[in-house]
Amino acid sequence: ESISRRMTVFGTGYLGATHAACMAELGHEVLGVDVDPSKLAMLEAGEVPFYEPGLEEVLRRNIAAGRLRFTSSYEEAAEFADIHFLGVGTPQKKGEFAADMRFVDSVVDSLAPLLTRPAVIFGKSTVPVGTAERLGVRARELSPAGQDVEVAWNPEFLREGFAVKDTLHPDRLVLGVDRNRPGRAESVAREVYGKILDEGTPFVVTDLATSELVKASANAFLATKISFINAISEVCEASGADVTVLADAIGHDERIGRKFLNAGIGFGGGCLPKDIRAFMARAGELGADQALTFLREVDNINMRRRTRMVELAREACGSLLGARVAVLGAAFKPDSDDVRDSPALNVAGQIQLQGAAVSVYDPKAMGNSRSLFPTLTYSANTEEACAGADVVLILTEWAEFRKLLPSDLDDIVRKKVVIDGRNCLEPAIWRDAGWTYRGLGRP
C-alpha cells in the first residue's frame, strides 16, 4: 500500500535532484532545496543541470503533477515537511585526502534552528563514519524541537547514467538508525520507500556507523576491483598476455564475477577517487590507518594507468612535441557529461603538456570539459577531432566510439594508429584494415 508523504531534499546536485524527482515519482510531495539560484531556476523550468538519461522526463512529469517544487528558503522547507533528506556534496578537501564536510554541516546548522516539530533527517551523502552521530547531537542542540529531532543515515548507491533506475529499483536499501535513541526513522523510511520495498528489495536496517561504512566499503571494493584488473593488465603487458580474455575467464567464477573487471585507463568521477581517499583519512583519524593502506596502492595503480596511456601515445608518435593527437572521449565514463577527475581529460592534459596538439571530442561533455580544461582544442565531431591525427586515442567508451570502423577514419588521419584506452574496439578489425592497434593490457 502506498502512502504519500511530504518531504524535502537538501542539495539539488546529482544525488539530490535525482532523489527529489524519484521520490515525487513514488507519489510523495517533494520540495527540493538549494542555495544556488541558477540550479533552482533550471530545475523549476523542468531542465536537469547535468546529463542523465531519463531524469528530465521524471522531473517534468512530477512538476506538472504538482508533486515537485524547488526553493532556496530553509524557512519554507522547515514549515513544509517533517522528513528531510540531505543530499549535498562531500568533496575532497584541497591538498588533503579528507572529505570537506562544510556543506553537510551548514545544512544542519541552518535547518535545525527552524525545526519546531518532531522531525527525521535522513542523510544520503557519503560521509566519514561518525558523522551521523555528530550531526544528531548538533541538530538536537540547535532545534527548538530538541530531543524530537532524529538523524538517520540512508546511503545512496546510484551510478551516474543509471541514476533513475538505481533510485527507483535499487539493489538494496540501507538505513542506519541511532541505536541509543529508539525513534521513528525506520517506520518513516518504510512508508517513504513502501513501493520499492513491496518489490522485494532487500532492506538492511543497522546502526549509524555501520550504514556509513557500508557506503565507504562498497566504493572501496569497486575501486579495488578495477585496480586489481588494471594491476594484472600491467603484468599482461609485460608478458604478452591479453587482459580482456583473462577477465572473461576469471569472471566466469561466480565468486569473482565479470562486472567491474574492465581494464583501461582506470576509474575517475565525483565518487570513487575522493571516497577512497576520504576513507583512508578517516581510518587514520580512528587509529586504523594500517587497515586501509592497500587503498593507497589502489589509488597508485589507478593513476599509473593514466601515465601508461601517455607513454603509449608518445611511443606511437616518436615524440609528442608537435604531434597531432585525437582524443575521443572526455567524460569519466560513457552516458555522462561529468568530467570530475576524468581519466580522459587528465591524459589529454598530460599529452598537451608534452607539446602535442590535442583535439578532443565527446558526445556530451564538451561544455564541462571546456570549463575545466580551457586550453585544449575541442572538435565538433569524431571526424574533425581525427583530421590529420598521428594517433587516435579512445579514452571514454561511448557507444558511438565502440561502433567506429577503420573505414570511418582511413582517409582522415595522417597515421593509422589507434590506442584503445578502454579496450572497447575489436583489434582484429583494425589490424586487418592496416591499422596499428594498441590496447591496455593486450598484446
Q: Which one of the spans 56-64, 259-267, 353-361, 399-407 is the region binding ligand UDX (CB under 6 A)?
A: 259-267
Does position 11 interact with ligand UDX (CB under 6 A)? The reply is no
| Single-letter residue type at 121 | I
- Is 201 annotated for ligand binding? no
- Is 160 annotated for ligand binding? yes
Residue 84 near residue 11 (C-beta atoms within 8 A): no
Q: Which one of the spans 51-59, 153-161, 362-370, 425-433 is the region binding ligand UDX (CB under 6 A)?
A: 153-161
Q: Which one of the spans 79-87, 104-112, 151-159, 357-365 is the region binding ligand UDX (CB under 6 A)?
A: 151-159
22 is annotated as an active-site residue = no
DSSP assignment of 23-70, as one string?
A: HHHTT-EEEEE-S-HHHHHHHHTT--SS--TTHHHHHHHHHHTT-EEE
Does position 398 interact with ligand UDX (CB under 6 A)? The reply is no
The residues near 160 (Cβ < 8 Å, ≥ 6 apart) are 14, 52, 269, 270, 333, 335, 336, 338
Q: CA-to-CA distance for 172 and 419, rounded, in angstroms?
A: 38
List 271, 317, 386, 424, catalytic entry: 271
By CB neighbour count within 10 A (0-12 exposed, 13-18 middle, 19+ buried), where does 44 fall? middle
Can you tell me which of 114, 115, 127, 158 binds ligand UDX, judged by CB under 6 A? 158
CB of 312 to ligand UDX, least distance (A): 16
Q: Can you say whether the dihedral through the CA atoms of 227, 223, 165, 101 is positive or negative?
A: negative
Does position 226 interact with ligand UDX (CB under 6 A)? The reply is yes
Does position 333 interact with ligand UDX (CB under 6 A)? The reply is yes
Residue (136 or 439) nearer to ligand UDX, CB: 439
Residue 16 near residue 34 (C-beta atoms within 8 A): yes
Can you tell me which of 90, 227, 233, 262 binds ligand UDX, judged by CB under 6 A? 262
Give 321's DSSP letter.
T
- Is 158 annotated for ligand binding? yes
- Is 375 annotated for ligand binding? no
Read off the C-alpha cell for 439. 590496447
Read off the C-alpha cell for 264. 583501461
Q: Which one of the spans 30-38, 67-75, 157-165, 306-314 is the region binding ligand UDX (CB under 6 A)?
A: 157-165
The residues near 38 (Cβ < 8 Å, ≥ 6 apart) are 49
Residue (159 or 296) nearer to ligand UDX, CB: 159
Can you tell me which of 123, 170, 176, 269 binds ligand UDX, judged by CB under 6 A? 269
Can you tell me which of 48, 220, 261, 310 binds ligand UDX, judged by CB under 6 A? 261
Q: Note the residues at the interface with ligand UDX (CB under 6 A).
A: 157-160, 219, 222, 226, 260-262, 264, 266-269, 271-272, 332-333
